[in-house]
Structure 1
């Protein structure tokens, strides 16, 4: 059983960011993981942020009935609220950026701190919070690895679940990201029928993008930058298109991963990962919502930012347009915010209310614990893992030691001969700080010391591709990029601007030991090659953000893991493969790593589930994906982390996704909009919808009917309640099996469930009790997370749920 140490609570949002939220009197005390949030939960206003300049604020008013006729009424109400603090019609109109009215009730406007504070004190206002640029993107073979060959063909080549592939053509997936490169072959509409009649969206024209840029594949495209421009005083169109066209590549990559057409004969630069590229739902329709834009500065091509007000407007429009699934490879770069003050969480809540599945990336801040983002239970939060493909690059040191690196660099050293080898720390210019002397930062290397040599650099500060550019600038022949110890054996690859190979932490140590022991160290870089059926696989990516959920530790996050390491997908021809100004190469497909890449894999699985079960709720689809996941690798052993340790629920949530199993889960855990509102009441005392008051004593957060179980602060015993719905065929009988966490007894009652018909619901209880602390088998020290599971089975289906407990 996995054991995890208890972690300190998060820092709260910077003072002045949370101007108001409705709190519930008598709310259940929050867990000890959140002391700072608890201290602030009774405050309606916090200290103003430094500076007097007006800012973009989101004023959230809850939900509405979804009646089209109400939209004009809501907009009038938003205008009236602004008028009450602005004092004139002209000022109110000028300040309003967005009126959210399709699925939620709220608006974004330019306000002073005082104006936002005054609005936050209104009884109808749930919260008022600053819209910030603290959000950013979480940056072929993978579908075969997940069991999909040529769409939905079975292992014997026969049709599997007949007509499901065609049914997915009626499913619409919305992608919030940096836009799309519509000319890519991955977005061809050849063979697709008419756009679904229920579609209400638009194809918004702009720079280098017209209505004809959409087709029967890309059926809608919009862009949002009012909050971005309010913050940065405009857009530099040298580095971005004022349109849905993708300037960056990230949005094109994620869109093609979820729903790109099958395109034969593609590869990354240098011929790596050659084969047919396909999204997981190649016949699904795409709706693109561009919300991420370049950060002004010396390298605007490198970093994107996404403002909450723009994202919330896109999510509101997307649900109003008629999307079925939202794929959001974006997350916060700062401390977590309570749900009422989190733009993605608010948008996802109201999307879920309309049956839209929202899949979000969990972040790339691992393996450090408590780093996972997108923490609300009504969204799918996705971690990243590897597939069974590698890009081998043999290295032979001068002492005869052979090392296997990884590369997708198209350049090769000429001559297949030894080249001098130098450690970056021994080749820096005077004045380079000692703590970063080995990292090949810009302008750090001395040309006299690296010219014509293979330079060994270590990962750490700066971008990996920038290190290669620095070696090239200084005249180096090639780069060997070594992992830091925390990254272990996991090696993300890049298309460097010169010959280059990445190596594990252990191999980097071997290379440096050789350099230190030799007066004339050399190395040969042999030609590289693509290798499949690599074992073990999958392995959890070290960069994938880990739990626990610091905002609400009674909800396990991440929920699921999926392929996110070295994924090939379509790319924007406006962006070089490294995104560096000094890189002038143009590519149509590129290899990327991150939870941004794993998120669309899960989004595609949700598309297929929508096609197979159009009447299922978003919670049912999320449940099916989670309860059918596996905690084993392809060889039958436990999922491992990139550093060689055994992974657990804090790493992968429920496990690694298995889309084919998810289509027939047997049982599902369902939850409604009202269930989520009551959960929020208990979690943070937040009344997320003024029309649904919080009870005086809500049920604890762990009582939400969720597919996983997490109990924070177990002292004595607790009983968790769950309800499952039979979604199989005919009668069914299920029996439970329990793998109790170390030091915790678990009793499920009843142990057998009998269903007379599909759609029938059955409730059960899970009693957990902490054993006495101390030494010996079956005992656990206080202040540790321990993990186990329970699973219902009818002999065909296995409906598994992880259990994570922190013993107080």
Structure 2
């Protein structure tokens, strides 16, 4: 075979434990280039096969700990890891194939697939502190609550001090609810709060007995919904075919349920973030696709304001000045109701974020430290891990070796590509029609599945850029199905090209939870900012778990993904905060969440955003960062807003001729963020903070200026005491460049020995009259 000293490739090492990690060591060796030609692509396949070759002995995942980082640059740390591992395994190629993770920032170490003898040999090296098998952590709840530090058995400060959300009322505007689910048991609940003014509206398969001390109210709104859609649903508050509303309601406020799982996957204790909160149901979405309209949603908001909810949770896409729900949400906020909305599922493309009104909390979706590895064993005994919710019995015929073939033609498994091909008893390898997309449309997998089943196939391996969304693999109609990333797909193709009779076996998925999984990451599907219409308000506001979340649906439990799953996580946390601080305004609650968010993971590494390519997350991916509930319970300072201040800004939203033409730009609102999308000249904004911590406190400023922008803060020290609980400071942003730029990002952080209070900053330098300036 023709050789090349610098092939262009990026190889993804995939292992039976289900973790996927880009091999940045390949970059250090000069083996990676951003371009990929035909020869380079061929070499990629060959070299990846070499890296993933099968070694003798049974291997498992080990964690090798080396102590403090002893090298200045992360690449040097990675190189030292490979030098050490190569000495044991015998070659750099074997080291690359074995390595899963490199720990190179807060501490030094790595995770690798090793035999027991290799692990013992490594442990004898003088620079190695310990070598231990990687431990699986049993999933408890949807796992997301433990991941966020709100475990039920060992509750964090917020869960305990917020009394588990006791008697807080969460209004869920969605597709209804399945009241018989164990997640809505009212056992142990006291009387319905006397301030509740709602009703239990009867309808099809729903009578007064379906409300309880847990589900304290139920309404439904069908006006303007297509009759055919209504025929496929219950004309009542009962959740129909989608299960969407049941899932979101149980995520926000589901009661504690032991032994929940999806066919044994993600087994543990299912519950909501505020498990003792009450639920008010407002069914506004209908049919299998959970469709609604502005009329139904506004009616639900209107009733919710009347009924006395404390929090409104809307997993509904929308936003911008033409979002007909925004003014309804503003009225809710003026009544002291915190409104939480999903950001949308149109990522990773920029300018796709919805629900961009500054008075709502807009939530992006993130991944958690759990995966569902599904092992694919090839005929050469090579094992590759994909991701799936395929749960059939391991002893079934579907788990045996089957002939492995491709979707022929362009490999996309379209009806035209298969063209009547007989796939009886075969496992089929399929690719999306456009392999350059960072997020393959969900319908492509479904289409490929349908076509493979129609042709008699017994298995489907579908390659796509991201495996963030798995629920489509939960029921593949009797055939084994699994998702793999594109590079893994190419590796499988290479095997198929080298084998005379390629075969593969797909095993059922397993649940794998480990702190060694790099999480959180912003999910690829999560919509991104900036807002097309309101770029002077950073959106989304916050990120929360939204990928493969276990929650109730009907009488069972399912795993689902989307910002629809992320929003109720925040709704539950807001309910806990409301119980802890009943007098706080919606703006104060929002501020506490944003200013205490995390921008690094548990290993101290910057949170990444899945996309093409992956990158370090910025405020248009996750706003202030990833939600940190226990820190939000003690924010120190809050950025509060008088709801009447939104009135001027809302003229932009209403587009009303009666609005004053001198409306307030969003960056002049007292938001816990700053965005200046048109920075031509120096701009000064004011922010006011209220001390909610110790009475006597001193905070200092830390400034991280956006690239190309000079930021100055006056004063640089804030002193609080009994007589001065509120302080105002000014921020001056000045462009340092004289040419049009893209958005750059920074932050402002007030800090003392106990707390840090951070807000994100975005700015874009513009030139109003470019040609005049050039002249």
TM tier relative to shorter chain: 0.7 to 0.9
Q: 1:676 is paired with a residue of what secondary structure?
A: helix
Aligned-pair CA distance for 1:720: 1.4
Bigger RCO of structures 1 and 2 (CA < 8 A, at least 6 apart): 1
What does residue range 22-41 of structure 1 map to in structure 2 within 5 Å? none
Q: 1:371 is paired with a residue of what secondary structure?
A: coil
Which of these residues, 259, 280, 286, is aligned with residue 287 of structure 1?
280
Partner of 1:272: 265
The answer on 1:492 being equivalent to 2:462 is no
The answer on 1:608 being equivalent to 2:608 is no
Which of these residues, 385, 389, 410, is aligned with residue 408 of structure 1?
389
Deviation by residue 1:634-692 (Cα, 9 ceiling, x = unmatched): 211000122432111111111000111111111111112221112234x468459x7xx
Note closer, same or farther for the CA distance 1:330–1:454 as it changes in structure 2 (3 Å cut).
Answer: same
Partner of 1:113: none
What does residue range 600-639 of structure 1 map to in structure 2 within 5 Å? 600-639=568-607
Q: 2:291 is paired with a residue of what secondary structure?
A: strand
Partner of 1:306: 292
Deviation by residue 1:64-90 (Cα, 9 ceiling, x = unmatched): xxxxxxxxxxxxxxxxxxxxxxxxxxx
Aligned-pair CA distance for 1:517: 4.5
- Alpha-carbon distance in structure 2 between the residues aligned to 1:753 and 1:400: 65
Partner of 2:567: 599
Deviation by residue 1:477-525 (Cα, 9 ceiling, x = unmatched): 11112114xx3x6453430232111111221222234334544322222
**Is contact 2:412–2:448 with CA below 8 Å preserved after alignment?**
no
- Alpha-carbon distance in structure 1 between the residues aligned to 2:765 and 2:712: 17
Which of these residues, 302, 305, 308, is aligned with residue 322 of structure 1?
308
Note closer, same or farther for the CA distance 1:803–1:235 as it changes in structure 2 (3 Å cut).
Answer: closer
The answer on 1:202 being equivalent to 2:163 is no
Partner of 1:729: 694
Aligned-pair CA distance for 1:699: 4.1
The answer on 1:789 being equivalent to 2:747 is yes
The answer on 1:164 being equivalent to 2:162 is yes
- Alpha-carbon distance in structure 1 between the residues aligned to 2:217 and 2:311: 14
- Alpha-carbon distance in structure 1 between the residues aligned to 2:724 and 2:337: 21
- Alpha-carbon distance in structure 2 between the residues aligned to 1:663 and 1:549: 29
The answer on 1:148 being equivalent to 2:150 is yes
**Is contact 1:331–1:361 with CA below 8 Å preserved after alignment?**
yes
**Is contact 1:565–1:592 with CA below 8 Å preserved after alignment?**
yes
**Is contact 1:204–1:210 with CA below 8 Å preserved after alignment?**
yes
- Alpha-carbon distance in structure 2 between the residues aligned to 1:595 and 1:277: 19
Structure 2 residue runs of 5 or longer lacking an equivalent are 1-141, 433-439, 767-775
Which of these residues, 703, 706, 715, is aligned with residue 668 of structure 2?
703
Deviation by residue 1:415-466 (Cα, 9 ceiling, x = unmatched): 754311122234xxxxxxx6xx61456x974664311111123354516445
Partner of 2:405: 422
Note closer, same or farther for the CA distance 1:369–1:392 as it changes in structure 2 (3 Å cut).
Answer: same
Aligned-pair CA distance for 1:410: 1.6
Which of these residues, 577, 589, 592, is aligned with residue 557 of structure 2?
589
Note closer, same or farther for the CA distance 1:791–1:287 as it changes in structure 2 (3 Å cut).
Answer: same
**Is contact 1:447–1:474 with CA below 8 Å preserved after alignment?**
yes
Partner of 2:90: none
- Alpha-carbon distance in structure 2 between the residues aligned to 1:684 and 1:177: 23
Which of these residues, 425, 433, 453, is aligned with residue 452 of structure 1?
425
Q: 1:330 is paired with a residue of what secondary structure?
A: coil
- Alpha-carbon distance in structure 2 between the residues aligned to 1:528 and 1:440: 26
Q: 1:748 is paired with a residue of what secondary structure?
A: strand
What does residue range 113-512 of structure 1 map to in structure 2 within 5 Å? 140-150=142-152, 153-154=155-156, 164-165=162-163, 168-228=165-225, 232-233=226-227, 236-237=230-231, 239-247=232-240, 248-269=242-263, 271-294=264-287, 301=288, 303-332=289-318, 337-338=320-321, 341-411=322-392, 412=394, 414=397, 417-426=400-409, 438-440=412-414, 445=418, 448-459=421-432, 460-461=440-441, 462=443, 464-465=445-446, 467-484=448-465, 487=466, 490=468, 492-493=470-471, 494-497=473-476, 498-512=479-493
Deviation by residue 1:766-793 (Cα, 9 ceiling, x = unmatched): 11111135xxxxxxx6230000111111
- Alpha-carbon distance in structure 1 between the residues aligned to 2:408 and 2:468: 23
- Alpha-carbon distance in structure 1 between the residues aligned to 2:337 and 2:444: 36
Partner of 1:525: 506
Aligned-pair CA distance for 1:408: 1.2
**Is contact 1:221–1:288 with CA below 8 Å preserved after alignment?**
yes
Partner of 1:647: 617
Note closer, same or farther for the CA distance 1:199–1:439 as it changes in structure 2 (3 Å cut).
Answer: farther
**Is contact 1:216–1:285 with CA below 8 Å preserved after alignment?**
yes
Q: 2:511 is paired with a residue of what secondary structure?
A: strand
- Alpha-carbon distance in structure 2 between the residues aligned to 1:712 and 1:636: 30
Partner of 1:61: none
Partner of 2:56: none
Aligned-pair CA distance for 1:177: 0.6
- Alpha-carbon distance in structure 2 between the residues aligned to 1:408 and 1:182: 26
**Is contact 1:424–1:439 with CA below 8 Å preserved after alignment?**
yes
Aligned-pair CA distance for 1:251: 0.5
- Alpha-carbon distance in structure 2 between the residues aligned to 1:653 and 1:622: 12
Note closer, same or farther for the CA distance 1:286–1:684 as it changes in structure 2 (3 Å cut).
Answer: closer
- Alpha-carbon distance in structure 2 between the residues aligned to 1:179 and 1:637: 40
- Alpha-carbon distance in structure 1 between the residues aligned to 2:494 and 2:469: 20
Q: 2:330 is paired with a residue of what secondary structure?
A: helix
Partner of 2:709: 744
- Alpha-carbon distance in structure 2 between the residues aligned to 1:387 and 1:215: 33
Q: 2:648 is paired with a residue of what secondary structure?
A: helix
The answer on 1:769 being equivalent to 2:752 is no
CA RMSD of aligned residues (A): 2.2
What does residue range 100-115 of structure 1 map to in structure 2 within 5 Å? none
- Alpha-carbon distance in structure 2 between the residues aligned to 1:148 and 1:687: 45
Q: 1:421 is paired with a residue of what secondary structure?
A: strand
Partner of 2:628: 658
- Alpha-carbon distance in structure 2 between the residues aligned to 1:784 and 1:724: 30
Which of these residues, 526, 540, 549, is aligned with residue 567 of structure 1?
549
User: How many positions carry a matched residue from both structures?
Assistant: 608
Partner of 1:73: none
Aligned-pair CA distance for 1:235: 5.2
Aligned-pair CA distance for 1:259: 0.3
Aligned-pair CA distance for 1:151: 6.8
- Alpha-carbon distance in structure 1 between the residues aligned to 2:153 and 2:584: 22
Deviation by residue 1:704-743 (Cα, 9 ceiling, x = unmatched): 1101110011113111111111111321111110111111
Deviation by residue 1:254-305 (Cα, 9 ceiling, x = unmatched): 0000000110111002x100111111000000001100112xxxxxx3x231
**Is contact 1:281–1:608 with CA below 8 Å preserved after alignment?**
yes
Q: 1:293 is paired with a residue of what secondary structure?
A: coil
Aligned-pair CA distance for 1:344: 2.0
- Alpha-carbon distance in structure 2 between the residues aligned to 1:678 and 1:322: 26
- TM-score in terms of structure 2 length: 0.75
Partner of 1:799: 757
Partner of 2:61: none
**Is contact 1:669–1:706 with CA below 8 Å preserved after alignment?**
yes
